[in-house]
Structure 1
Amino acid sequence: MAHPPTLVVGVHLVVVEDGRVLLGRRKGTSYADGLWHVPAGHMEPRESVTRAMAREADEELGITIAERDLDLLHTVHHLDHDGGGGRLQLFFRPAHYTGRITNREPDKCHELHWWPLDALPGTTVRYAAHALGEIARGNPLSVVDRRR
Structure 2
Amino acid sequence: MKWMEPMARPTHHLPPPSMSSCGKSPVSSGEGPNSTAWVKMFKKPGGGLKKSYQPGSMLSLALTKGLLNEPGQNSCFLNSAVQVLWQLDIFRRSLRQLSGHFCLGDACIFCALKSIFSQFQQSRERVLPSDSLRNALAETFKDEQRFQLGLMDDAAECFVW
Q: TM-score, normalised by structure 1?
A: 0.31
| Structure with greater contact order relative to length (CA < 8 Å, sep ≥ 6) | 1
Structure with larger Rg: 2
Which structure has more strand as a fraction of its residues? 1
Report the TM-score when normalising by structure 2: 0.29
Higher helix share: 2
